[in-house]
Each structure stands twice: as C-alpha cells, then as structure tokens.
Amino acid sequence: MKPVHEKAVIIGISGPSSSGKTTLARLLQRVFCGVNLKEDSRLNTFIIHEDDFYFPDDKIPYTTTASGEKIQDWDTASAIDIPFLSQALHYVRENGTLPPRLRSKEDQNDTTDSGVSDEVVQELRDIVRSRLQNEAAEKSTEKSPTIAFLEGFLLFAPPEQEQHVLRSVHDAIHLSLFLPAAYELVKARREGRSGYVTVGPAPEPVQGTEDGGDGGKDGGDGKTGTDIDLEAEDDRPPQNFWVDPPGYVDDVVWPRYVTDHAWLLIAEDGDEDQKDGSQTLTEAELVRRIGDGTRARTDVGVEVAPGCGSAGMDVVLRWAVELILGYYLDRMGV
C-alpha cells in the first residue's frame, strides 16, 4: 500500500449498546498514545465519541412502543447529527486534531472496570513501540499521522448501498472494527446503567416527530443547507441527563440495532438471506431471525472481534492492537 499523506488514521469501533466500544477505545488510546516513533517523535491519539453528535434533546425523534407509549428514540440514525459527524471526521483526517467546535460530554458518563490489567496494557505498548521503531527506522522524517479512535453504535453502511444515511461516515473510516454482543448481555449492562449525559435542554413532546417525522433529519442524503463552523467554539445548550424508561432495551435499543445491522448479522440458523430481504421483513421478524445477535459476516470489509461477543476484553484488545498496528504500518508504507 502506498504512503498516504493524510494527518490522521481513523479507526471505527462499533457494535450494539454496552458491547464495550468505549472501553476498547480507551484501552487502545492507552496502548498507542505517546509511543516513541523516533527520537524526536511520539504518536498522537485521541477518541471521538459518536454520542457527542446527538441532536439537542428537543430534536430527538419520538416512537410509539408496542404498548402504545410514546417515548424518545435515541437509538436511530435520525437522533444523530450525521452531517456534523461526517464533517468532523474529514476535519480530523485533514488536520490530525479534533475540531475546536467539538466538546465531549462522554467522559461524564459512567465508567466501568475494563477487566484488563496495567501489565497487559504495558506489554502491548512495548510491542507497539518496538514494531513502530523497527519497521519505521528507514521512513522519512515527516511527522507520522495521528490515530483517532471513533466509537459509536451506528457507524457502518452496507457496501452495496451508496446512498445509505451512514455512507459518508463509513467512507471516512480507514479501519472498521465490530464488537458483537449477545442480547442478554446488552440488556443486563444497559439496564444496569444510571443514565446518560445529553446535550440538553430537557425535551417536551413534539408533534410530528414520530418515526418518519423530521426529528432533526437531513433528508437522508447526509447533507444540510449550511456547513457547521468547526473552528468555532461549542455553543450548544446546557447539558441534561437521560434515563432509559422501563422496557427501553426491548422496545427500542435491541430492535433498532438488529434492523440497522441486518446486512451485517447472520441469522440464528446461519441463513444470511436477511441481508437482502431485510427491507421486506418486519422489525419483529428480523429480531426473531437474528436471535442473540452474536454472529456477523466477515466478507463486507468489517473486521469482527473474536469470540462472538464472549471473549474477554484482553483478547479483544490484543486482536484490535494487532489489526491497527498492521494497518498503520501498511498505510504509512513502512
């Protein structure tokens, strides 16, 4: 692969809610950040959280549950400012830094023990440093690109759908990593969380935003009438706090995840027909076919974590480090 002169390599980490995306991104930053490349050069890294690109609370669309209750749907693409995210990713690739406009709220949410020891992290740092220094010894003195870890629940698009709402996001990612997770694990972890910091302000029910209303949508083409000034300071409204209502995982989180990823997931019986027929199946039918959701295709340009969601984070971390390190060295042509 020929050297590329972009200033950042973006690693996309996706999977269902509570699958370990943020934990993995933070571990990867610990492994790669500040590693010595040469005597006068250190590798720069940072994390981009898709959750920082939610629309303000009063722009989040509403949906009606099977019981007839009207609630906000935070697990749909219509809740994410996709043009802002896409624009920010291109800024990162061109500049190697986060845009000033982007101010993260993700670190204010609950954190959990990664399950990976400091010794393992240091071991992997040593491996990364050794390989980068040895294989890049003859490389030019040009500064090596930053590594940006992008984590989020909606990042990837089916390869055959050029007009998919996430196409501009997926195309900005250099290496795509997917973390499967079983339904029962997602449910237990998600329901065990206290809640999430949001953009704010506190929402009031808005007529006309249920499933197909505007809800802050951009028309499906990933574009808006005006670009966001990424160099400006963040002037978004004060933050709020969202707590999942009872039954939210079964009513919204899991069905939305399965529907959005039907092209990537393999049905419980091993049949992949849903990748072509998902548009004709109901949400409930897709959920039944996918089962616990632990199997994913490996032929669509997305790297799938080992263990079908059952491997420990130390195993997943080692897998991710090896893929990223190999890709980074190839990308830089060393």
Domain of residue 60, CATH code: 3.40.50.300
| pLDDT value, residue 333 | 63
Mean pLDDT for the stretch of residues 34-45:
80
Residue 36 forms part of a structural domain: yes
Q: CA dihedral defined by 201, 205, 206, 211, rounded to 10 degrees? A: 110
Mean pLDDT for the stretch of residues 112-116:
80
| pLDDT value, residue 1 | 40
Residue 215 forms part of a structural domain: no
| pLDDT value, residue 216 | 39
Nearest to 114 by CA among 320, 297, 252, 257: 320
Top mean pLDDT of 89-103, 138-152, 189-203, 281-295 is at: 281-295
Number of H helices and number of E strands within the chain?
10, 11
Mean pLDDT for the stretch of residues 93-116:
74
| pLDDT value, residue 112 | 65
User: Minimum mean pLDDT among 6-20, 85-99, 100-114, 295-309: which range?
Assistant: 100-114
Residue 69 forms part of a structural domain: yes
Residue 79 forms part of a structural domain: yes
Q: How many domains does the structure of the chain reveal?
A: 1
| pLDDT value, residue 236 | 56
Q: Please tell me the distance from the alpha carbon of residue 292 to that of residue 287, in angstroms, as a whole number.
A: 9
Residue 216 forms part of a structural domain: no
The count of C-alpha atoms lying within 13 angstroms of the C-alpha of 276, restricted to the half-sphere facing its C-beta, is 3
Name the percent of the chain lying above pLDDT 90: 60
Mean pLDDT for the stretch of residues 147-172:
97
Question: In this structure, are residues 243 and 195 in contact, taking their beta carbons and an 8 Å threshold?
Answer: yes
- CB contact set of 267 (below 8 Å; sequence gap of 6+): 273, 274, 289, 290, 291
| pLDDT value, residue 105 | 55
Mean pLDDT for the stretch of residues 175-186:
97
Q: Please tell me the distance from the alpha carbon of residue 69 to that of residue 244, in angstroms, as a whole number.
A: 13
| pLDDT value, residue 212 | 40
pLDDT of 208 > 60? The answer is no
The count of C-alpha atoms lying within 13 angstroms of the C-alpha of 231, restricted to the half-sphere facing its C-beta, is 1
| pLDDT value, residue 140 | 55
Residue 60 forms part of a structural domain: yes
Provide the H-helix boundaries in 136-226. Answer: 167-171, 183-191
Q: Which residue has the higher pLDDT, 243 or 258?
A: 258
DSSP 283-327: HHHHHHHHTT---B-SSSS-EE-GGGGTS-HHHHHHHHHHHHHHH
Nearest to 211 by CA among 114, 75, 334, 106: 75
| pLDDT value, residue 229 | 74
User: Minimum mean pLDDT among 11-15, 111-115, 116-120, 296-300: which range?
Assistant: 111-115
Residue 221 forms part of a structural domain: no
Residues in the chain: 334
| pLDDT value, residue 232 | 65
DSSP H or E stretch at residue 86: helix 82-95
DSSP 143-157: PPPEEEEEEESS---
- Structural domain span for residue 237: 8-201+229-332
240 forms bridges with which residues in the sheet? 198
Question: In this structure, are residues 302 and 261 in contact, taking their beta carbons and an 8 Å threshold?
Answer: no
DSSP 11-64: EEEE-STTSSHHHHHHHHHHHHTT-EEETTEE--EEEEEGGGGBPPGGGS-EEE
Q: Please tell me the distance from the alpha carbon of residue 308 to that of residue 296, in angstroms, as a whole number.
A: 8
Residue 3 forms part of a structural domain: no
